[in-house]
Structure 1
Amino acid sequence: MRPLTKPLEISKIENDVNLASAIDIMTSLNEPVGILDLSSKKTVWLHELIKYNYEMLQNKRLSHNNRINLSKFQTQLEWIYKNPSKKRKTNFIDDIRNAYVNNGILCPYCGVSPCRTLDHYYNKALLPQFAFLPENLIPCCGDCNKDKGAKKSFGAWRRIINPYYDDYQSLLQNEPLLIVIFKENPYPSVDMKFIVTANNNLPYIIKKHINFHLRTIKIEKLHQEMISNSFWRNAKQLRKYKELLDKGSITINTHRDLVDSFISINDNLTYDWEYIIRFSLYNFRTNNWIYQSNLIKLR
């Protein structure tokens, strides 16, 4: 759930892609065996590739209907994807992957690890016609590629967030898309646990979509140390502000100014857990236990 940072060279790479020419060439060669039989479907195949971007822009997902069935060519199209070449004009596959790897871009699915591979948003076994379509190739880390696996992406919400087409940042003003709910002493010898979830002020389907992504990519587990460390540090700071207010050392207006400054988002970050945690601690009643807690770590 991290906005994708595109390397400068990506625009040129994508602009140089000529799918019509690539299809003409690959269906005229003898390798891999059986690919010549695909030549009769070139027109409808190219039409579906062109339609992909339009459909995703309109609906954020592909529909089940009107998909051409190229499953009999799965082996051939997977081979072409795994063997990019200038001869077939598919060398852009390696170029896209290398651009993200060489620039150290962080994975948009998890926001933790660098991109090392390309994920087929629509699995190449399910829809092999999109095996080398640039819009279907999502740069990501190996773990996220594995966790996403072959999960189908036709559902309105049972799908991974697509960094090319899903832009939710404008849906909420002055609020994060994610919130964190913290619980005190959930188990013996455990001081605190947390749940990361979609902001309840989002539209219902968007919340379901985001929460599916969080579970599938295991966001809580991947960011556990960061969230935990940030919680103790920020909860202690909010307690100090509250203590100053309760003692009469500061006015209500001063307290509000301190808190507003404290929870403001860092515009230099695109995945700001500090902002999410501070906002969650201050704005959600379920987290108010931090002010009465006797946990040593909060003193």
Structure 2
Amino acid sequence: MRTLTKPAELEEIEQSIDLILTIDEITSLIEPIGISALSTRKQEWLDEIINYHNEMSQNKRLSHNGRVDFSKFKVQLEWIYNNPSVRRKTDFIKKIRDCYVNNGILCPYCGVSPCRTLDHYYNKALLPQFSFLPANLIPCCGDCNKDKGIKKSFGKWKRIINPYYDNYDSLLPDEPPIVIIFKENPFPNVDMSFVVIANNKLTSIVRKHINFHLKKIRIGLLHQEMISNSFWRNAKQLRLYKTLHNSNQISVQAYDTLIDNLITKNSNINYDWEYIIRFSLFKIKINHWIYNSTLDKLQ
């Protein structure tokens, strides 16, 4: 779950896209077989494309019952997506994919691996009319594309976070949208475990969306090593500050300044796990076991 970084050249690519012209070109050709039959449904197709943005902007998801059935053309439209063409005005598909790949942009679904492909947020077999709609093409890594697979995204409560239409950072400007709960000695011979969850201050429906995403994309597992290493380092730092404060070696003001510097978000970083971990350790009381723990790694 990461804010999507857009390459500089993307703006020029997007400005060159004319979907009305693209649809005209596609339906004027005879390849693939059967595509010309869409020429009588161009207005329906365009209406679907317009409604996509309107619905996603307003509701963050599409209504299943409100869709026009284009399933008859799914084979043809999938072929068109898989074969970008200057003649059909669909070469922007390859350009969008390449600009993310060439710039090494990290996957917005997991935040771990670089983008290598485009995911159809709404599966092209289910809704073929959006097969090459840029707003439906999410740059992501191969693993996330595979894990998400053909999961339907119509669910009101369960859906993958959409980097184009979801901006949860703005909902809690002074707190991260996700936090981490750390547990001491959860199992024999295990010093610490953790779970990544949505911030409880978010609304119920937003928490459901985030928690579904965290589970399906396996965020905790993918970031396990980094979170673990950061936990031990920052927990020891907080313990040190607490010890200095309790022993009157530093003033209350100095202590507060140290804490503020430690848990303040770095606005220059796209997605700051260090900030999330430090915030979680200091602000979430259940994590305060770190101050009294006798674990060797915290000494």
TM-score by length of 2: 0.98
285-294 or 226-235: bigger deviation: 285-294
- Residue aligning to 1:263: 263
Query: Which amino acid in the other structure matches residue 236 of structure 1?
Result: K
Per the alignment, residue 117 of structure 1 pairs with: 117
Distance 2:72 2:258 in 1: 63
User: Which position in structure 2 is the counterpart of 1:48?
Assistant: 48
The whole-number CA distance in structure 2 between the counterparts of 1:205 and 1:96 is: 32
- Deviations along 1:22-66, whole A, 9 cap, x unmatched? 112212222111112222211111111122112211111111232
Structure 2 residue aligned with 1:199: 199
1:156 to partner: Cα distance: 2.1
**CA deviation profile, 1:86-110 (whole Å, cap 9, x unmatched):** 1111000001000111111111111
Q: Distance in 1 between matches of 2:195 and 2:254?
A: 31
Deviation at 1:249? 1.3
Q: Secondary structure at the match of 2:74?
A: helix
Moved more, 152-161 or 179-188: 152-161
Residue identity matched to 2:53? N
Which SS does the other structure have where 1:255 is aligned? helix
Cα-to-partner distance string for 1:199-241 (whole Å, 9 max, x where unaligned): 0001111111111110111100110001000000000001111
Following superposition, the deviation at residue 266 of structure 1 comes to 1.2
Off by >4 Å, runs of 4+ in structure 1: none
2:39: which partner in 1? Answer: 39
Give the structure 2 partner of residue 224 of structure 1. 224
Q: Which runs of 5+ in 1 are unaligned?
A: none
Q: Within the alignment, does 1:12 sit opposite 2:15 as a pair?
A: no
Q: Which residue of 1 aligns with 2:241?
A: 241
Look up the SS of the partner of 1:119 in the other structure: strand
Match in the other structure for 2:279 = 279
Secondary structure in 1 aligned to 2:180? Answer: strand
1:254 Cα deviation from its structure 2 partner: 2.2
Alpha-carbon distance in 2 for matches of 1:103, 1:250:
46
Q: Are residue 72 (structure 1) and residue 68 (structure 2) matched?
A: no
Aligned to 1:3: 3
1:107-141 CA-partner distances (Å, limit 9, x unpaired): 11111111110000000011000000011001011
When structure 1 is superposed on structure 2, of 30-39 and 193-202 the one drifting more is: 30-39
Give the TM-score normalised by the residue count of structure 1: 0.98
User: 2:159 and 2:87 mapped to 1: Cα distance?
Assistant: 35
Distance 1:69 1:164 in 2: 25
SS at match of 2:201: coil
Q: Which amino acid aligns with 1:26?
A: I
For structure 2, which runs of at least 5 residues remain unmatched after alignment?
Answer: none
C-alpha distance in 2 between matches for 1:279 and 1:102: 34
Shift of 1:9: 1.2
- Answering whether residue 288 of structure 2 is matched by residue 288 of structure 1, we say yes
> Residue 253 of structure 1: CA displacement?
2.7
Q: Which residue in the other structure is 1:89 paired with?
A: 89
Task: Report what 2:145 is aligned to.
Answer: 145
Aligned partners of 2:11 and 2:52: how far apart in 1? 19
Separation of aligned partners in 1, 2:247 and 2:48: 67
Other-structure match for 2:59: 59
- The 10-residue stretch of structure 1 (248-257 or 103-112) with the greater mean CA deviation from structure 2: 248-257
Equivalence for 1:27 = 27
SS at match of 1:64: coil
1:100 correspondence with 2:110: no
